[in-house]
Structure 1
Amino acid sequence: MHPRIRLELAKRWSEPHREHHDTDHLAEVIRAVDSLASSGLDFDVDAVHAAAWFHDAVYDVHRADNVERSAALAQHWLGAGEGDRVAEIVLATRDHVAPPGDLEAAVLCDADLSILGAAPDRYDRYARAIRTENAHVPDAEYRRLRSRVLTRYQARPHLFVTSPARAWWESRARANTTRELIQLGRPVAV
C-alpha cells in the first residue's frame, strides 16, 4: 500500500471520537493477523494487512453503513483489482462471518474479534471504550443493543473461524462475553 494512503488512513484512525476503533485497535488487529500468518496459515498477508487498515477507516457511531463506506473507500483509493479484493475482505467484518472458502476474510474477522479473547483487564478497557463511543445511547437501550451483539456471538458454535484463533482466543472470548452479559444484567445460557 502506498505510504500516502497509509498516512491518510492513519489520520482517520486517529480521529478524536474514536475510543476503541483507534490506532491501538488497528495495531492489535495487525498483530493478530501476523500471529495467524506465523501459525502456518497460508493466506495473502498483504491483502489482509490492507483490509485491516481499511476495515474501520470510516467510523461514525451515528451511521449503520460504516463497513460499506470503508469498503468503498478501499475500492476508490486502491483501484480495481486490489481495491475490489480488499473491499470484499472488509465487507466480511459487517457481521464477522467470512464467505465459505475465503481464508483472507476469515483471518481478518478472527483478528478483528481477537479483542474478545484478550486478558480480562484489556477486555474490560475495550468494553468501556465501546460504551464511551456510544455515549449518546441511553443506558437501557445500550444494554439491550450490546447484549444482542454479544448474545449473537455466544450463539455461534465457534466465535473464530481459523483453528489457531480458536485455540488462542475462543475460551477466553466466551468467558469475557459471558461476564459482560452478566454485567449488562442479561441472562446467559450455559
Structure 2
Amino acid sequence: MTDSPLPRDPRTALVDRWRDTLLAARSGAPGDGPGVGPGPDAGPDAGPDPLPYAENLLDRWDEPQRRYHTTAHLTAVLDRIDTLAPYAADVHAVRLAAWFHDAVYRPDRTENEERSAALAERALPEAGVSEAVTAEVARLVRLTVTHDPADGDRNGEVLCDADLAVLAGGPEEYAAYAAQVREEYGFVPDEAFRAGRAGVLRQLLALPRLFRTPHGAAAWEARARHNLATELELLRSSSDPR
C-alpha cells in the first residue's frame, strides 16, 4: 500500500504555473493549446529568474483589502482558461493577462485595470517577454474594464469568459461571490452600494452575450443571466421601504 501524496501548497502550485507560462511566452512557443510547453531554448538561464516576478504578483493578490479578488480568483480564472484554451489565438498571452488583470486592486479606486496593464508593460519586457506579447497582454487587461471583446477577438473572448464564469456558479457559490464583493466595498454605505452594484448588474445584463466562446455560451450564459437577474431583484427588494 502506498501513501497518498500530500496536497500541494496552493502558492507553490501558482508559482509553478507562472514559471511554465512565462518560459513558454518568452521562448516563442506557439500558444495554441493547454499542453504547450517552453521551446527547446527556454530554461532557467534563458532570461531572468521567474520566481521574483511570481512572488511579487502573488504578494499583490494576497493584499489584505481583497476578499474576492484573491489568489483563489486567480486560480479559478487560470483553471477556466485551461478549459477554454483551444479557442485562444495565444493562450500564453491570455494566461499572462489573467495574472495581471487584477494585480493592482484597490476597491476605492477606478483606475485598477489601467494600472494593472501598466504594471504588465513594465514587468514583462524585463522578464524577457517580447514587445508584441507584452502589448497583447496589456490590451487584454484593459479589456476587462468592459468585458466586451470585439467579434473575432479570440484571446479577449477567452479571458473575459474565464473572468466572468463566476457569475454562472450554483446558488451557494454565487452567494459567496456576492458576499465577498460586498466585503471589499465595506466602506461604502448600504444604499450607495446597492445603487452602484445594481448599475453593474444592469450593465452586464445589457450585453448581447455575456460569454463569447462556444463553451461559455453553452455552459454558462443561461445560469449567469439567472443569477444576475436574481441578485438585481434582491437589491431592489432590500431597498424597498415597504
What CA distance in whole angstroms lies between the structure 1 residues aligned with 2:207 and 2:148? 10
How far did 1:43 drift?
A: 2.4
Q: Secondary structure at the match of 1:185?
A: helix
Residue ranges of structure 1 left out of the alignment (5+ in a row): none
What is the root-mean-square deviation in Å for CA atoms of aligned residues?
1.2
Q: Deviations over 1:31-89 (max 9, x none)?
A: 1111112xx42421111110000000000111100000000000000023332211011
Q: Deviations over 1:140-163 (max 9, x none)?
A: 111011001101111222111112
Code of the aligned partner of 1:138: P
What CA distance in whole angstroms lies between the structure 2 residues aligned with 1:62 and 1:149? 15
Who is 1:27 aligned against? 75
Question: Does the Cα contact within 8 Å between 1:55 and 1:70 map onto a contact in 2?
Answer: yes
Report which of the two structures shows the higher radius of gyration computed on alpha carbons: 2
Who is 1:54 aligned against? 100
How many residues align structurally?
184
Q: Secondary structure at the match of 1:94?
A: coil
Select 1:158's aligned residue among 200, 209, 213: 209
The yes-or-no answer on 1:3 pairing with 2:3 is: no
Q: Secondary structure at the match of 2:120?
A: helix
Give the fraction of aligned pairs with identical amino acids, expressed as a percent: 43
Who is 2:13 aligned against? none
The yes-or-no answer on 1:76 pairing with 2:117 is: no
Question: Does the Cα contact within 8 Å between 1:98 and 1:105 map onto a contact in 2?
Answer: yes
Q: Deviations over 1:112-145 (max 9, x none)?
A: 0000011111111000000000011111111011
Who is 2:224 aligned against? 173
1:126-141 to 2 correspondences below 5 Å: 126-141=177-192
Select 1:121's aligned residue among 141, 152, 172: 172
Please give the TM-score of this superposition, normalised by the length of structure 1: 0.93
Moved over 3 A (4+): none
Question: Does the Cα contact within 8 Å between 2:88 and 2:158 map onto a contact in 1?
Answer: no
Give the structure with the higher percent helix.
Answer: 1
Residue ranges of structure 2 left out of the alignment (5+ in a row): 1-21, 23-49, 126-130, 238-242
